[in-house]
Amino acid sequence: MSIQTRSPQFRLAIFFIAASACLTSAEAAKSSKNKPPARAAQAQGALYATREDAMLFADDLASRRNLDPAWVRQAIGQSRFNPTVSRLMQPPTKTFVKNWRAYRSRFIDPVRIRAGVDFWQANRRTLARAEAEYGVPAEIIVGIIGVETIYGRNTGSFRVMDSLATLAFDYPSSHARAKERSDYFKGEIEQFLTMESRRDADPFQPLGSYAGAMGMPQFMPSSQAKYAVDFDGDGSIDLWNSPADVIGSVASYFKAYGWQPGMPTHYPVNFDASRLDMDALMAPDILPTFGVASFTAKGAVLEGPALQHPGPLALVELLNGPDAPSYVAGTENFYVITRYNWSSYYAMSVIELGREVAQAMDRGTGR
Ligand SMILES: [Ca+2]
């Protein structure tokens, strides 16, 4: 999943749905891990062994990756269609009114902040080492892991193989880009089985989100293959049980997507109604496009250090339901956070959770 390949957009498009439209169901799917019976999310549908297209894919994959064909056929053949996965991936049937304050309150609460403080204190030296090596602040890494899984508490309860197979071979046809998505998930099966084969593991062991995202940082298999690192140096990568591997891997992901050390994620922005060209400011969406001079000429008003910002900026709009939207000037680092999950609401939650945890640290034992 390099920056140039097709994969990020697919992953982002998928998670945009999860984050913006189906948040409630996605959250429910994640949190179902802790509710008995834990196996409720497991597939009840047909085995893919009965599907000719799936078995042909298995043979082709085994040949291309030089894997044992019988093992691959078994792994794909014993995967089951999961109707819950399919339902969660359906396009939303009604329009949701986005609401930043509601979104924020789901991710930033005393329980998550407290868990963030505990995580930071327990991994202080590793976070500092990741910051030194990759240039990504501890605050951002702590924000990501907290928003994704509350520091490993909710890593998902779907068998990864069932999720990936369901989305590879039965992507909801009601979706406009079902073929592309299905190809993306076939690629994820390929990455996943290659990794599992290499470490001689049982592919039915890992559980993840309904989209097949795994472990404390909810990496897709292709992200794990490309960006995950063995940051505790024990010779293997464990994104479920090694906070160090998780911290290093998140930092590695951000560095690969262009995180710039020392650059703020965003600045406050106001507007000068007398010269405001909102259409022009909103046109590039969250892609940083405007230099400070051009940004302010179109009616955005910046103050202090923002006026010296050297790179391009984007006007980021966060809707607040029926109330007036919130706006910030997003930098290239804000954009990098959206490469983890394609949503400005997600990015802002990560930033604000990280900041809340940092402030709680400062109020408490200190960093
Ligand atoms: Ca390790």
> Tell me: the pLDDT tens digits for 231-248?
999 999 999 999 999 999
Q: What is the pLDDT of residue 365?
A: 58
Q: Looking at the predicted structure, is the pLDDT value of residue 29 above 80?
A: no
Bridge partners, residue 330, by sequence: 266, 314
Q: Are 211 and 127 in contact (CB under 8 A)?
A: no
Give 222-289 as a DSSP string. HHHHHH---TT-SSS--TTT-HHHHHHHHHHHHHHTT--TT--SEEE-EE-GGG--HHHHHTTTTS--
Q: Quick one: average pLDDT of 270-299?
A: 98
How far is Cα 31 from Cα 209, in angstroms, rounded to an integer? 10
Q: Looking at the predicted structure, is the pLDDT value of residue 38 above 90?
A: no
Distance 247 CA to ligand 1 centre (A): 11
| Confidence band of 176 (pLDDT split at 50, 70, 90) | confident
Q: Rg (Cα) of the chain, in Å, rounded? A: 21
From the list 131, 139, 148, 332, the catalytic residue is 148
Q: Looking at the predicted structure, is the pLDDT value of residue 277 above 80?
A: yes
Q: What is the pLDDT of residue 52?
A: 97
Q: Looking at the predicted structure, is the pLDDT value of residue 228 above 70?
A: yes
Q: Looking at the predicted structure, is the pLDDT value of residue 332 above 60?
A: yes
Distance 244 CA to ligand 1 centre (A): 7
Q: Which among 168, 147, 152 is positioned nearest to 86, based on CA atoms?
A: 168
Give 44-111 as a DSSP string. -S-BGGG-HHHHHHHHHHHHHHT--HHHHHHHHHT-B--HHHHHHTSPPSSPPPPBHHHHHHHH-SHH
How far is Cα 298 from Cα 278, in angstroms, rounded to an integer? 8
Q: What is the pLDDT of residue 22?
A: 32
Q: What is the pLDDT of residue 35?
A: 38
Distance 228 CA to ligand 1 centre (A): 10
Would you list the domain boundaries of the chain? Answer: 8-45+80-256
Distance 215 CA to ligand 1 centre (A): 13
Q: What is the pLDDT of residue 25?
A: 35
Q: What is the pLDDT of residue 41?
A: 54
Q: What is the pLDDT of residue 90?
A: 86
Q: What is the pLDDT of residue 195?
A: 96
How far is Cα 141 from Cα 121, in angstroms, rounded to an integer? 13
Distance 220 CA to ligand 1 centre (A): 18
How far is Cα 207 from Cα 184, in angstroms, rounded to an integer? 19
Distance 189 CA to ligand 1 centre (A): 23
Distance 129 CA to ligand 1 centre (A): 15
Kindly report the pTM of this predicted structure. 0.88
| Confidence band of 97 (pLDDT split at 50, 70, 90) | confident
Q: Looking at the predicted structure, is the pLDDT value of residue 81 above 90?
A: yes
Q: Looking at the predicted structure, is the pLDDT value of residue 312 above 80?
A: yes
| Confidence band of 139 (pLDDT split at 50, 70, 90) | very high
Distance 136 CA to ligand 1 centre (A): 19
Query: Reduced to 3 states, what is the DSSP secondary structure of residue 121?
Result: helix
Q: Is position 190 annotated as part of the catalytic site?
A: no
| Confidence band of 93 (pLDDT split at 50, 70, 90) | confident
Distance 144 CA to ligand 1 centre (A): 19
Q: Quick one: average pLDDT of 303-327?
A: 97
226 burial class (0-12, 13-18, 19+ CB within 10 angstroms)? middle
